[in-house]
Structure 1
Amino acid sequence: MNAIEGSGTASDGTSDRRWFISHAGADRAWAEWVGWQLLDAGYQVELDYWDWGAGDNFVLKMNAALAHGRLLALFSPAYFEPERFTTPEWTAMVAMREKITPVRVAEVEAPAILRPLLSRDLFGLSPVEARRVLLGAVDGPSRPDTEPPFPGSGDMLRQVGASGPRLPGSLPRVWNVPARNAAFTGRDGMLVRVREALASGQRVAVRALHGRGGVGKTQLAIEYGHRFAGEYELAWWIAAEDPALIPDQLAALAARIGAAPGGTVPVEAVQLLLGELRTRSRWLLVFDNAEEPDALAAFLPGGSGHVLITSRNPHWNSYAVPLDVDTLSRTESVALLRAQGAVLTDADADDIAATLDDLPLALAQGAALLTRGLSPADLKEELAASLVAVMAQATRPDTRQRWPRRSA
């Protein structure tokens, strides 16, 4: 699919057919969906992840793009996070307000300086309606060229661009990824790196830096699955800590997609599934807590789908591109402690985050205790008395574990 050169020219000399997509890293799935829809409709698109190289200067590239086109800004809470723009980037953005067309991909109120710009909402719509709204935003209002379908006809339900990605957030029919963590915080940069590696055709092994548990490998994989669900026709989660249990889980997927009849011997079903996946695209397999690379090798399909592995083992280079996951930054740790509504002073939040070594799982459990009535002082006292047991519990792979409590 190639962009088609348009002949339309705006009054300021820029082309109405050339669009630079501006977005936050957290909204990359939306940026890819929007970019695909615009290309499919014949527009020219410039998207940083598609078109820019490492080390390119954001401001210079944006200015060059806008010299011959317009900017489509995907407004969301992440788009306006204070740390997202440097002063030169924000100055350049504000100076070009007349070239900006905003669309909202989540509920958010724009800063006062951008509020006069009229925006359209893409979220909360069907894919067909979201595409119509998007094209209306970039093309402006127009009268129809053909007779509208009679109300109630099947044509109104036709999926436009059904061969492309679905609307971000919509789940595929074949799906067993665990429920999303509502308190998931940060990691946008890592999610982008996972997406870039998978989109380039590489398997990715999300590894715990220094073999540490509790750094959030599984939660990162779950968040990736949900955030980019619209990119896949099937997404299947495999508990891989015990290799002996993997064939039954893959056999269930084989039966689900019709690659093998129900009741087929798992070993045979796995081979039929791997063969089927090699002929398909837009699928995701997640092998969670896989510890032995050689034991997993027999279950890794080829083809153009995506494979994501989480592991404490650092030795995955022969099978996948490694992505090391470390602890959270202190800013992310404090945000996670407050994500469930806990009221903390900056000093208390910093003390608790430091005591818990910025480990996401330990922080999430601490936040849960704070929202259940435990005061910051009591939590710090609890940690002082039983930190070793707390950290041992918080670094186990099973996130349902509870902290040990002192007896009264």
Structure 2
Amino acid sequence: MVAQREPARGTPPGGESEHFVVVFPGYHRAWGHWIAHRLESHGHRTTLQRWDPDREQPLHEALGDLQLASGRVLLVISDVFLQLGPRTEADWNTVLRGYVAEHADRFAAVNLTNRELLPATAVLEPVNLWGVGEEEAERRLLNRLGLSPRRAPAAQTGYTSRYPNDPPDVWGEVPRRNGRFTGRDVILNELQERLMDAEQGAAVCALVGMAGIGKTHIAAEYAHRFGPDYDVVWWVNCDQRNTQRETFGQLAVELGLDRAGDVGERLRTVREALRKNTPSGRWLLIFDGWEDPEEAATFLPHGGSGHVLITSRNKSWRAATDIKQIAAFRRAESTGYLMRRAPHITAEQADEVAGEFQDLPLQLAQAAAWLGEEGMEVPEYLRMVRGVGLTRLESGTMPDDYPYSSLTSWSMLLNKLRKSEPRAVDLLSLCAVFAPGRIPLGLARGIPAAELPDNLRWIASDRSSWARALDSLVNYSVITRESRVQAGESEQNDSVLMHQVVHSVISELTQGRNNDAVRGTVHRLLVEADPGAPNDSRQWGRYAELLPHLLPSIAPSSKERRVQEMLLNCLRYCYNSGEFTLGAELAASIRTEWERFLDSDAQQMLSLATLQGNVLRAAGRFREAQILDADRLERLAEVPRSEGPYEEALMEATSCLAADLRLLGQYDEALQRQERVVEVARRLYGPDEGASLLAQHNLAVGLRLLGRYEEAYDTDLDTLRAREQVLRARHPYTLGSGNSCARDLRLLGRYQEALARQELAMRLQLQVLGAQHPQTLMARHNLMLCQRRAGTPRQDIATAMALLLDQQEQVHSRGHYTTLSLMTDYGNFLREHGDLTLARELLTEAEDGFRALLGPAHPVPTAMQSNAGLVLQIEGERDGALNMFEQALAGVTSLLGPDHPVTLGCALNTSGGRHLAEALEDAHELSRDTLERSRRVLGEDHPLTLSCMVAQAIDLRSLRRRDEARAVESDALERLTRSLGAQHQQTLSARQRTRPYWDYEPYLG
């Protein structure tokens, strides 16, 4: 069969020209296009012809079909070209010596390999283009065809390919090209057409299919085959979320972008650069094994002229991308592949084997390896795989839709290796303890032989056996090599890839996980891979690679102290990098194991409790953290007391429980506990040591939550000054104190001071931590609130809030407490400026989220009802609004007391609701009482106090007590002008006698 022919190209501008049919297999598409472009630039016409003749068609007929076109046939050949399809060397030699020799004037060839070709290819007189530069390759091409070069070759328009020997400028960890890749040309060409023809910003395609169907190999072949079309090709392994984020973020470095900041910031930077086609619009992203379409917004650029390719088993990608369902091989592809790998079998036998394994590529690779390496005859092989049962394998080892004979085939291979290459089985036993996917097996080469089990000591000392064992596993299609270690490099960099289906079978057959010595070796490898610096963002990529292997290797069960410290470092990484969900899962697994053999007061358990509480708290799982920390404190109380370590452990446990209580709304008890923590820390370490300053910082949080803003500010300011001296101005803890001071100033009504301090803090946050670090997002949130209170133009704040909400959701989640807080403040802003529909949606979602997270009897969801009442009030639902106001006021009074600033704000709104409901005496009584309390708690000139004065004046005027109203109003306007300025919105609203209101801003600490 002759594949589809592309139209003739390159109309000559005059003079003599020739027509060439450039014939290439799909494997060498890039070369075919480059040759055609070069010939056209010199005034010749070309027809591109992808050539994949079927097995049924004799070779001489297929070659004859190529000559139906006028002009000469230029074959793009290599050793791979001559192996395409089930053609024997004898077939090729016969047709080359016969038919091609008879028509030698119509054929020419270029050779793309440095390996030996069939002797009979000499009739084609192939010119070798392997390993030469573009100018030399063009000169050789023209010389072979007897063509004279143009003095000034015509420029080529359109999407032209670069010279195939020149790789893309950026090439990111694409798996090595599979020299045995067969078929799939229809899929690859259709895929390329889909991506090329898609509208800009929409060139995203997902390859979806069952495990082992060949999705990854298709994606890798696409990258290699079409790589010359791109300037940037970047491969992202998506087996683990944190690995996916780190790998994608690393592209920022390769693109020369700002690499500062955390992973989230690098993600945003890369995504924005690709969207803007910086530095090039010719980019290709490949996400391999991406099973979560909901995370698409975090990674996909949603713009730009590049292409995105995804492999997945999840059909839900249909909603977000173009989808290409990947099925098993076509039977012709199956038989062609088998006969290439095992030349001694017939087409009928290949057909029978393909049918046995249902044309599944993964299983055909294993069958072909067995038949090809062993030279086994097909009848014997099929008899063995059909006749031997594997009843000891667990159900679920293989996917349900895999043929059962696949298990037998793998078992046969393992039995064979045990006899012929036992050291290869040793390596498989190690691989079985790791997780599937990328396995850093080479780390074993760095461990001293004396520290390895007896049967594995050869790994450290016998380099030739190491290479031979790996090569055997590659030849039998058990693993692939991710990278071939070059001479002079350490084998510790050697890593392999193992498919998850293969890993499941090998794990069961080798029983490696049940071997204590093998597990211990893998644990030692993980310890060696630990950078020992979980606080250093430069090392987070290495930790991201470690994490997938911790639980499969049962590392938490290890009693080795070094392994335990490695696990704790991984938890520290999770907390520092923002991987809170992953950290919580890991911490739970570690605790389950450690509780079996460690005392509750062991140092490792105490450290685990602190880290587990931190990640649970940061993930918004407050009650779980509180139960954990309360239990730890209770256990410590039962331990005989001693100085030093005991007091430190008790202090740390108390501090953690105080943090839980603050988040759960138990502010008084939390403050009492935190005061004890401060006292102990200062006694143990002194007032200026890090632990003491952290305790003092947390004390200020408690004071702020209780509405004691002046005390909180004094404490935060003292902490800031000390941290500037001890830690310096750019330390993250110092920046955190700066953010806290700005927040205090804003709550004190000192808006301009707060804005000035937060603007400075924001610049430092960006420089030190990056734009998407959680602390930076909190700082930006506070900056927007400062800007709003200080009177920054409305549109600037609206745009910034919308962008921040998107970033917040990417870094945490929609339901995370910090996202809910921002959602509330954004909703309040939109309500104030007339977008009631979106405001209502955001405020309702935030209130429901807080109630689900904290329960109904918590100050935050209780006070949120006041925000809902303001929306109803604007919509004209006066009764509903007043009901919300009254419920909020009653609730927060009970929970926080009548003098808390939140209670005063709710009271202000309630008095306004009563006024609109014409309960004028009730409104006046409440506004008068609220004003008195606000003066006492917040001071005469606080903005909330002044709002209460304006509300009181309105209520007095409604009761016809005009002289009193005039006096109160005049005093309020004078104070507003002096403290906020004559043009501030609150001052202008007071002059217009607009009833003031109060927005509740949720804050958990």
TM-score (norm 1): 0.71
Give 1:218 shift: 0.6
Find the residue that maps to 1:274 and give its secondary structure.
helix
The aligned residue for residue 12 of structure 1 is none
Find the residue that maps to 1:284 and give its secondary structure.
strand
The aligned residue for residue 223 of structure 1 is 221
Partner deviation per Cα, 1:312-344 (whole Å, 9 max, x = no partner): 223434443322211112332234345444754
Give 1:287 shift: 0.6
Cα pair distance change 1:3/1:346, threshold 3 Å: closer
User: Pairwise mapping of residues 369-388 of structure 1 onto structure 2 (< 5 A)?
Assistant: 369-370=370-371, 373=374, 375=376, 376=378, 377=380, 380-384=383-387, 385-386=389-390
* Corresponding letter in the other structure for 2:218: L
- Conservation of the 8 A alpha-carbon contact between 1:6 and 1:43: no
- Conservation of the 8 A alpha-carbon contact between 2:398 and 2:501: no
Question: In 2, Cα distance between the equivalents of 1:340 and 1:63?
Answer: 31
Give 1:31 shift: 1.4
The aligned residue for residue 188 of structure 1 is 185
Task: State which drifts further: 75-84 or 163-172.
Answer: 75-84
Among 120, 127, 137, the alignment partner of 1:130 is 137
Q: Tell me whether 1:177 sits opposite 2:174 in the alignment.
A: yes
Partner deviation per Cα, 1:272-314 (whole Å, 9 max, x = no partner): 1122223212222101112233322431122222211111223
Among 161, 166, 173, the alignment partner of 1:165 is 161
The aligned residue for residue 476 of structure 2 is none
The aligned residue for residue 369 of structure 2 is 368
* Corresponding letter in the other structure for 1:213: A
- Conservation of the 8 A alpha-carbon contact between 1:221 and 1:308: yes
Partner deviation per Cα, 1:30-67 (whole Å, 9 max, x = no partner): 11222233344454444469xxxxxxxx99x988973x
- Conservation of the 8 A alpha-carbon contact between 2:86 and 2:340: no
Question: In proportion to residue count, which structure has more strand?
Answer: 1
Question: In 1, Cα distance between the equivalents of 2:138 and 2:36?
Answer: 11
**Consecutive unaligned residues in structure 2, runs of 5 or more:** 1-8, 51-61, 88-99, 153-158, 403-435, 437-498, 512-1005
Partner deviation per Cα, 1:213-242 (whole Å, 9 max, x = no partner): 211001111122222333332211111244
The aligned residue for residue 103 of structure 1 is 110
Find the residue that maps to 2:258 and give its secondary structure.
coil
Cα pair distance change 1:341/1:218, threshold 3 Å: same
The aligned residue for residue 253 of structure 1 is 251
The aligned residue for residue 270 of structure 2 is 273
The aligned residue for residue 36 of structure 2 is 35
The aligned residue for residue 13 of structure 2 is 6
Find the residue that maps to 2:399 and give its secondary structure.
helix
- Conservation of the 8 A alpha-carbon contact between 1:75 and 1:108: no
Give 1:203 shift: 2.4
Cα pair distance change 1:131/1:245, threshold 3 Å: same
**Consecutive unaligned residues in structure 1, runs of 5 or more:** 10-14, 50-57, 85-92, 147-162
- Conservation of the 8 A alpha-carbon contact between 1:169 and 1:226: no
Cα pair distance change 1:224/1:314, threshold 3 Å: same
Question: In 1, Cα distance between the equivalents of 2:178 and 2:501?
Answer: 11
The aligned residue for residue 313 of structure 2 is 312
Cα pair distance change 1:252/1:80, threshold 3 Å: closer
Give 1:177 shift: 0.3
Cα pair distance change 1:394/1:236, threshold 3 Å: farther
The aligned residue for residue 233 of structure 2 is 235
Provide the identity percentage. Answer: 30
Find the residue that maps to 1:196 and give its secondary structure.
helix
Find the residue that maps to 1:218 and give its secondary structure.
helix
Task: State which drifts further: 185-194 or 398-407.
Answer: 398-407
Q: Tell me whether 1:288 sits opposite 2:291 in the alignment.
A: no
Cα pair distance change 1:405/1:349, threshold 3 Å: farther
Partner deviation per Cα, 1:161-185 (whole Å, 9 max, x = no partner): xx96344365435321012223322
- Conservation of the 8 A alpha-carbon contact between 1:362 and 1:391: no
Cα pair distance change 1:380/1:295, threshold 3 Å: farther
- Conservation of the 8 A alpha-carbon contact between 1:361 and 1:394: no
Task: State which drifts further: 268-277 or 131-140.
Answer: 131-140
Question: In 2, Cα distance between the equivalents of 1:306 and 1:33?
Answer: 21
Question: In 1, Cα distance between the equivalents of 2:321 and 2:69?
Answer: 35
Give 1:111 shift: 7.7
Task: State which drifts further: 235-244 or 103-112.
Answer: 103-112
| Higher RCO structure (Cα 8 Å, ≥6 apart) | 1
* Corresponding letter in the other structure for 2:147: G
- Conservation of the 8 A alpha-carbon contact between 1:290 and 1:296: no
The aligned residue for residue 354 of structure 2 is 353
Question: In 2, Cα distance between the equivalents of 1:389 and 1:40?
Answer: 58
Question: In 1, Cα distance between the equivalents of 2:45 and 2:349?
Answer: 50
Cα pair distance change 1:197/1:39, threshold 3 Å: farther
The aligned residue for residue 864 of structure 2 is none
User: Pairwise mapping of residues 113-124 of structure 1 onto structure 2 (< 5 A)?
Assistant: 116-124=123-131
The aligned residue for residue 156 of structure 1 is none
Partner deviation per Cα, 1:50-92 (whole Å, 9 max, x = no partner): xxxxxxxx99x988973xx6554434554896799xxxxxxxx
- Conservation of the 8 A alpha-carbon contact between 2:39 and 2:45: yes
* Corresponding letter in the other structure for 1:32: H
* Corresponding letter in the other structure for 2:111: R
Question: In 2, Cα distance between the equivalents of 1:347 and 1:21?
Answer: 33
Give 1:360 shift: 0.6
The aligned residue for residue 333 of structure 2 is 332
Partner deviation per Cα, 1:117-148 (whole Å, 9 max, x = no partner): 54423334333322222233445267x979xx
Give 1:359 shift: 0.5
* Corresponding letter in the other structure for 2:287: F
- Conservation of the 8 A alpha-carbon contact between 2:86 and 2:335: no
Number of matched residues? 359
Question: In 1, Cα distance between the equivalents of 2:251 and 2:128?
Answer: 36
Find the residue that maps to 1:260 and give its secondary structure.
coil
Task: State which drifts further: 370-379 or 230-239.
Answer: 370-379
Question: In 1, Cα distance between the equivalents of 2:74 and 2:325?
Answer: 33
The aligned residue for residue 74 of structure 1 is 76
Cα pair distance change 1:266/1:365, threshold 3 Å: same
Instruction: Select the structure of larger CA radius of gyration.
Output: 2
> Over aligned residue pairs, what C-alpha RMSD do you find?
4.2
Q: Tell me whether 1:398 sits opposite 2:500 in the alignment.
A: yes
The aligned residue for residue 955 of structure 2 is none
Find the residue that maps to 1:316 and give its secondary structure.
helix
Give 1:248 shift: 1.6
User: Pairwise mapping of residues 50-69 of structure 1 onto structure 2 (< 5 A)?
Assistant: 66=70
The aligned residue for residue 863 of structure 2 is none
